[in-house]
Structure 1
Amino acid sequence: MKNFEPYEFKKAGDLKGKTLFITGASRGIGLAIALRAAKDGANIAIAAKTAEAHPKLEGTIHTAAEEIRKAGGRCLPIQCDIRDEKSVRDAVELTVKTFGGIDILVNNASALYMAKAEETSMKQYDLAMSINARGTFLVSKYCIPHLRNSKNPRILTISPPLYAATDPRVNWYARIGVGYTIAKLGMTLITHGLSEELGGDGVGCNTLWPRTMIATAAVQNLLGGDESMRKSRTPDIMGDAAYEIVTSDSRKTNDQSFFDDEVLLSVYGQGLDLSKYRIVKDAKETELVTDFIC
């Protein structure tokens, strides 16, 4: 892990009246980002697949929309499969028609699995690649023309830091599985490339990744269950960190790979108490389960 160096975020205003297009925002991290933006009175399009209650997953686009409205935002729930080009194109067009444009894209939707190469089915591999890497590319492609019309446009992708692909100290591919890692780092590489392609247009493209496990359905169902949940932080830390990134000057904050706690410590100082984000409030920081690349 690299040493912590505070990053200077130049504030560019709040999110009142701004429009966010967030993929996979019916629950978890995506919803936390939406709820934080809603406090400013933002317009939020949530593009996700879950329109009806799922037995193993809490939340739908409709329950998420209700929470967002109660938090102070306007919300457009859209059932969208980011693997399908027409579904994405229609979702983007509906958002623009409803809110007049798109200021911020949050690429959050992702498929997770853990398996070594020989244990991975090609169905698993193809699903992760089609949602994580291809989906991020596809949604970005259709949002870009509208982002160019914004005064402070952003693309924020929930994916690991760029150095994770080549850090000689940690082979993250082996830790969690080659197939999933390739798909997830694909999101990062797309964002890195777009930072150069769109930099001249003032579109700030960055990634955000959690330092620790985050208490989401993925952790509950795939990454250790109740024990890991108790040693996790709440999704709110990602929501608060994302807010600081997308409200900073897009021409100043570009092509950066951030960790959630480092963002908040940079903004509020290294004396910031992060205990409010723990699932178990009296747990020690050393008891939290760190992410695989940390």
Structure 2
Amino acid sequence: MSGTLKGRTILVTGASRGIGRAIALRAAAEGANVVIAAKSDVAHPKLPGTIHSVAEEVRAAGGRALAVKLDVRDEASIAATVEATAEAFGGLDAVVNNAGAIRLEPAARLELKRFDLLHQVNTRALLAVTKAALPLLEASDNPHVLSLSPPLNLEPRWLAPYIPYTVTKYAMTLLTMGLAEELRDKGIAVNTLWPRTTIATAAVRFEVGEALIERSRTPAIVADAACLILSAPATELTGQTLIDEDLLRRFGETDFERYRNGPPGAELALDLFIDA
């Protein structure tokens, strides 16, 4: 796998921390050009990482970096990010729609303004960022769009507790499946990726609680799977809803203990929308 992303340009949204940061650093280790796009351009008192700190890490890891302040709800901000990418690197080979919002509340309790935010940052952003990037992706010889959303699991237990959040994530997957067919003739791969277990991120700690962190894996497992997808031939891998562990096993990975965030032996927690 080493070197397969060398010289490729990858735009990662929500890249200032967590899974987005891990994908950026993993791609950088292979020599990629990485656009670190996120709202966090100044340090947060409670959350580590900014687009600038991750850009420094990307360069230290062996990649070229461009830090861009991006609000995925704002079409002008998206357009400026794509333009800056073209100016800095001359093109674009992959978009990773990683930026996301989460609120695990039932419909009766969730404020509509919070649902609007979930929809804008999850569903609408996928479409808006992908649309803006299409002209550059069409010029690539191996273009990919990868979004962090789950397989469609219609078991009632995933519908009742927090359907407003669920519907925005499932809508991302439906968009992906549709875009894969719409863009198939252009040779643009469009896939989703989702972790089998919970991932130790600030979002999990804030929304679910500290106790789950020790039963989670590190973001590195998602990053490794993402880079496998982005380096695959676009015409051979598209329209798929992929799970990180399953994909890595397909490529021969057997050591999953190295991804464990907590102590050995702790039972790992399955992520949302995963039954087994």
User: Normalising by structure 1, what TM-score?
Assistant: 0.90
Partner of 2:18: 28
Partner of 2:269: 289
Partner of 1:209: 194
Distance 2:114 2:183 in 1: 32
The one-letter code of the counterpart of 2:229 is I
Distance 1:29 1:139 in 2: 18
Partner of 2:105: 115
Mapped contact 1:275–1:281 kept (Cα < 8 A): no
Partner of 2:69: 79
Partner of 1:249: 233
> 1:160-203: CA deviations, max 9, x gaps?
01x32xx3x4541224x111111111211111111011111111
Partner of 1:141: 131
> 1:90-121: CA deviations, max 9, x gaps?
11001011100000000000001010111101
> 1:8-66: CA deviations, max 9, x gaps?
xxx8x711110001100000001111111001110011110011111222111011111
Q: Is 1:92 the equivalent of 2:82?
A: yes
Structure 2 unaligned spans of 5+: none
Distance 2:83 2:157 in 1: 41
Partner of 1:183: 168
Structure 1 unaligned spans of 5+: 1-10
Mapped contact 1:170–1:293 kept (Cα < 8 A): no
Mapped contact 1:34–1:68 kept (Cα < 8 A): yes
Q: Is 1:198 the equivalent of 2:183?
A: yes
Correspondences of 1:165-184 after superposition (within 5 Å)? 167=154, 169-175=155-161, 177-184=162-169
Q: Is 1:56 the equivalent of 2:46?
A: yes
Distance 1:188 1:278 in 2: 27
Distance apart, 1:283 and its partner CA: 2.5
* Aligned-residue RMSD, C-alpha: 1.4
Partner of 1:7: none
Partner of 1:264: 248
Distance apart, 1:281 and its partner CA: 4.5
- Moved runs in structure 1, 4+ residues, more than 4 A? none
Distance 2:86 2:159 in 1: 38
Partner of 1:3: none
The alignment partner of 2:10 has SS state of strand
Higher relative contact order (CA 8 A, sep 6+): 1
For this pair of structures, how many residues does the alignment match? Answer: 274
Mapped contact 1:21–1:46 kept (Cα < 8 A): yes
The one-letter code of the counterpart of 2:31 is G
Distance 2:193 2:136 in 1: 22
Identity between Structure 1 and Structure 2 (%): 46
| 1:276 aligned to which of 255, 258, 265 | 258
> 1:134-177: CA deviations, max 9, x gaps?
1111000000111011011000000001x32xx3x4541224x1
Distance 1:30 1:215 in 2: 13
